[in-house]
Every structure is written in C-alpha cells, then in structure tokens.
Structure 1
Amino acid sequence: MKFLNIQFEGRAQAAVLVDHDAAPAVLPLSRLASSPAFAGNPLPDTVDELLTAQPEILEALRAQLSAGTAAYSHLFVPESEFSYLPCVPQPGKIICVGLNYRKHAEETRSPIPTSPIVFSKFSDTVAAHQEPIPMPRHATEIDYEGELCIVIGKEAKDVTEAQALDYVFGYCVANDISARELQRRTSQWLIGKTGEKFAPIGPYLVTADEVPNPNALAIQTRVNGETRQNSNTSDMIFSCKELISYLSQYIVLKPGDIILTGTPEGVILGYPKEQRVWLKAGDEVEITIEKLGTLKNQFVAP
C-alpha cells in the first residue's frame, strides 16, 4: 500500500493512495474508519499510529481495498483540498549513509568504503513533497542527493542480514540536501547536512510488501527537467539488509526511524570544479524511484 501524510480538515491525517477507474485517488483513513467494515477493527488516524499499528489491522485494510474501491469513491479527496506533509512526520532518528554507491565514490575520487560511513541529520529537517526549500543564508554550494529511504517498522537490535528486511515498514524517496562548503569544514559533515528542510521525504510511504527487493530499483534525479542522476539501487556498496543489520549492532532502531541509504553518481560535487553550477532559488528538483513515486521540491530565497 501507498500511504500519505496530509494536512486535511485542519489537522495531520494518514491517507492511502488507491487505484480507482485506472487513476490514483486519495482516501483519508479517518473517512474510511466510518465504514461498517472497520467497526470492530479501528484504523490508525495518523502516520505515527500507522507505524505502530498491529499487522492484522493493515492486513484488514489491504484486504478491504483489494476487494474494490467503488464503495468508497464518495470519500476520496482531490489534491486541491489537502497539502502534503512529510510522509514520516517525526522520525526519532535520521541516519544517513555516505559514499554508498560505487560510481558515486568514484566520481568524488574517494576510496570504496570497507564499512558504512554513517552520519545523521536532525529530525526537524524533514520536509514534504512540494514543500519549498529555503536557500541557506550562509552557504552557496547547495547540492542534491536523490536517495532511497528505509522506514523502520519495529524495534531492531542485533538483527542478522537474513532478518533485517523483516523490520522494515516501508520505503520512500528522499533528498539528502547538502551545503558542500559547510560539509567540508569538519570530518563530521553535520553542519552541511542539517539546514532548514534539508531532508525532504515522500510523497508516499510505500509498504515493504510492494518492494520485495529494495536493491533493484531505478533511481533518477532531475533539475529543472534535466536528468542529473540515473542509476539503480543495485549499485549500492552496502545493501539495505546489510545497512539495517550493521546499524542494529550499535544503535537500537525503532518504529519511525529512517535510514537514507546513499546517493548515486551525478551530484554537482562530482563535476569538475569549472562545471559545477550549484542549486539556486527557483530551481526545481525531482527525484523518482521505481515503485515509490516522485518527490518534487523547489528552492526559494531565504
């Protein structure tokens, strides 16, 4: 299933994207909850509740929607009546992995890592699909990084690679926005990674059952319509299951934590210095990942 976090009727609500008459439609779970089919099996109202919902509740929802959506068509909400919110509204942790694509490591003339390079962003950097991203006041070398994002669904500690994907609720598209001159100031990278709204995620939170192999997904980034990144998650040095297992040895992963798994080649930093044209106000960045949709954001003046 594809879930959304939307601002609708004055508050944040969870919704599900369904196919109806060969077109996508948005169905708030609060509206669906009024259906007699869910009278004894209450649906989660928010994404935070969704992330910790019992599996049987999600199975009931999946079964009900797979039986047909015609009965719920009067509950659909047009896009003009809601706004997108970050598909994971309050991640406890944002864990990021650097240099995790072979061709990206090569384009930046960096050695291939022998263990994952782990850093973080602050949880209040998340932004939504279509949300404007303000340019930083104290940095000019602003870069995009299209990434696959893992959303943890249950507590993971010391899990094996064979078990790792069982702890995933779902996946979404992410942009690890980076201020390169600030990133280079220290080996920790932090100040260059945690600008305001520097972690857009969305538009959908796609459940793991729809992505049986997260390391076989096409990924593409476009700037003002021009393709800049065009790769596949199969180029990752450390696969999704390897990352989850590795991180769980040192960090207790909990529902709602997100892992940004690295970016492929094609970032501005990878261009020769004389060809680098950094992002500026007015630029629009679109990131598309197979099965997960397209995340779109425009950069605006501070």
Structure 2
Amino acid sequence: MTTTPFSVGTFADGDAPPFPGIVVDGRVHDTRAVLPAAASTAALLTDWDAALTALQSFADAPAGAGIPVGDVRVLAPVQPPGQLFAAGANYREHVIQITVAHRIGAAGASEAELRQQAERELDERAAHGEPFVWTGVSTSISGPYDDVILPDVGEDFDWELELGVVIGKVTRNVSAEEALDSVAGYTICNDISTRSLIGRPDVPMMGADWLRAKNQPTFFPTGPYLVPARFVPDPLNLDITLRLNGETMQKGSTGDMIFTPAALISYLSCHVILHPGDMIITGSPAGNGSHYGRFLQPGDVMDCEITGLGTQRNHCRTTEH
C-alpha cells in the first residue's frame, strides 16, 4: 500500500487565530477536521502515534480542497514550542575549519599539522567522548519566512543552519538503539549567533555565554514544516544548504555529524526528561560567517534548505525599522 507524503505545521489565514494544519500536495488542511480535540500542533504531538495514523488516513484520501500553502502565513511548525536543546561542535569539517582558522593547537604548527591534530582529536571524541549540548529559550523561535531582527546588543551576527529533531513521546534513559523511536519528525532551524557576546572577559572562568549570544527574539527561524520521521528514511543522508544574497555559504551533509541524532537523544535523555514537542538542533556544517569574516547585515537575505524538509527565506533588519 502506498502512503501519501505529508507534513504538519502551524498556519494563519488573515486575522484568524493560527491553526494546526496538514500539508498534502502543496495545500493546507486544518487538522481539527480530523482530530478536533487537538487545537495545536503541540497537542497533536502529545499522542503522536494516534495522530500520525489519523493524519496518514486523511493524506491518503483528503477531504476538501484545502488552501494553497502560499495563501497562508507559515509559522514555526510546533506551537506552542517545547524545550530547545542545541548540539555544539558536532560537524567534523566545521570543527576542523575552526581549529585551523583560530590556530587552536601547538604553537608554530602549520595548517596541515593543525588539521591532522583536529582529526585525531575528533576521532577520539567520537569513539569515547560525549556530545556538547546547551539549552535555548523557546521565545527565540520564529517562523521560516519571518524577518531576523539584528539587535542593538553585540555584533558579528552569524548563521548556523541545522537539522531539527522533534520529539514525539516522553523520553528518559533510552539507548541510542532505541532513541529514534522517540522522534516525531524533522524540521529546519537556523541557529543565529552573536559571536561578540559568546566570550565573557569579566568572568572568563565561566566559559561561553550561550544565553546572551544565541537567544535574541527571532534567532531561531524554524520550519516550514514538521516532516514525519517515516518520510525521512535516513536523517544522516540529507544535504544542508544556506545561501546569503544568492551566494552559497554552507553546503554540507548531515552525514558529517560526529554524534548522530540517536546519540544526542540518548545522551540528553540521561540528563533531562524529553517531552513531545521538544526540539533538538544537531549542529551546523562548515561555512559560517566567522569562517568568511562576513557577518549578517541589515538587508541581507538568507535562503536555507535541507533535503525533503522544505525551504526558509529570512530577511535581516534592525529593530529601528
């Protein structure tokens, strides 16, 4: 039996309140016609197995014409959003690039020697180490076509396009082998960072300050959709592409991850309880602005895509306009 692909998201039609929708063949249908008790995508995720069955049946034989997706506003797919967890330094080539660019290693080492050193350390970390994960705030999540607002605080605003993993069941202490059973689906998230605010010279012993560097409003454009995991056969075989004003800046593959989505879920579940609607962003491939020495400016346009998950387009502006 053939199953019809579909996506889930949150949409707004004119001045009406946002509604949870299913997207089939480019048209949006209100999921409340099928699951009236679930008034939001977050509610759909609380019993995802049952919701998935009902939504699949609808997608296979949709009732009504729906609305062209271009005629509605597309919000971040999970509303209200859950907890946000972010993996850092999780793409092999990205970490190597940073190591060489910032000359992190033996004094006087050549670029080739620094690269070899980074490769050895990454092999060791992948084999015996643990992921590095920090927490974000859900109020920083914005829609896939919303403007990114560059604040008056800090400078050197950077992009980091990432695969988002959305949890579909309460998860605690799972193995990596079991972890993907907890995934409802996948989405796109651009983790915008204020590089100048990461360090804290006043309290250097405390390390990086991820709160102030990454959690300004609109700093996590997310979506357009939640694509159910059944339609993403291999999350480690997806192309990630970010273009700035039409020029390709990031072009990588999720296969370059050091710790896989399953490993990240397993690690997190040993330290926190994951809930339906929580999102884990899994790190960024090489090609950030800090590599090019070129950061986001008012008027810039970012076009982002991940294989099978749709596209984002975000204009950058200041708070003054």
Identify if the C-alpha distance between structure 1 residues 221 and 59 changes in structure 2 by more than 3 Å, giving closer, same or farther.
Answer: same
Q: Is the 8 A contact 2:161 2:284 kept in 1?
A: yes
Distance 2:9 2:261 in 1: 23
- Give the alignment partner of residue 247 of structure 2, picking from 182, 206, 226: 226
Count matched residues. Answer: 282
* Matches for 1:184-195 after TM superposition, within 5 Å: 184-185=199-200, 186-195=207-216
Distance 2:142 2:240 in 1: 20
- Give the alignment partner of residue 122 of structure 1, picking from 137, 142, 161: 137
The aligned amino acid for 2:23 is L
Q: Residue in 2 aligned with 1:86?
A: 76
**2:76 matches 1:61:** no
Q: Residue in 2 aligned with 1:296?
A: 313
Distance 1:265 1:16 in 2: 33
Q: Partner of 2:264: helix, strand, or coil?
A: helix
Q: Residue in 2 aligned with 1:279?
A: 296
Distance 2:58 2:139 in 1: 35
Q: Residue in 2 aligned with 1:3?
A: 8
* Matches for 1:1-302 after TM superposition, within 5 Å: 1-8=6-13, 10-19=16-25, 24-30=26-32, 33=33, 38=34, 42=36, 44-67=38-61, 69=62, 71-73=63-65, 76-79=66-69, 81-109=71-99, 111=118, 112=122, 113=125, 114-185=129-200, 186-271=207-292, 276-302=293-319
Q: Is the 8 A contact 2:40 2:79 kept in 1?
A: no
- 1:18-45 CA-to-partner distances (Å, cap 9, x unmatched) read 12xxxx2122223xx1xxxx5xx64633
Identity of aligned residues (%): 35
- Alpha-carbon offset, residue 191 of structure 1: 1.2
- Alpha-carbon offset, residue 4 of structure 1: 1.5
Unpaired segments ≥5 residues, structure 2: 1-5, 105-117, 201-206
- Alpha-carbon offset, residue 180 of structure 1: 0.3
Q: TM-score, normalised by structure 2?
A: 0.83
Distance 2:297 2:286 in 1: 20
- Alpha-carbon offset, residue 200 of structure 1: 0.9
Q: Is the 8 A contact 1:90 1:124 kept in 2?
A: no
- 1:173-221 CA-to-partner distances (Å, cap 9, x unmatched) read 0000000010133424221111121111000111111112111111111
- 1:203-249 CA-to-partner distances (Å, cap 9, x unmatched) read 01111111121111111111111111111100000011011011111
Distance 2:51 2:159 in 1: 37
Distance 1:294 1:176 in 2: 15
Distance 1:43 1:203 in 2: 24
Distance 2:51 2:42 in 1: 14
Distance 2:47 2:36 in 1: 10
Q: TM-score, normalised by structure 1?
A: 0.88
Unpaired segments ≥5 residues, structure 1: none
Distance 2:262 2:143 in 1: 26
Q: Is the 8 A contact 1:119 1:188 kept in 2?
A: no
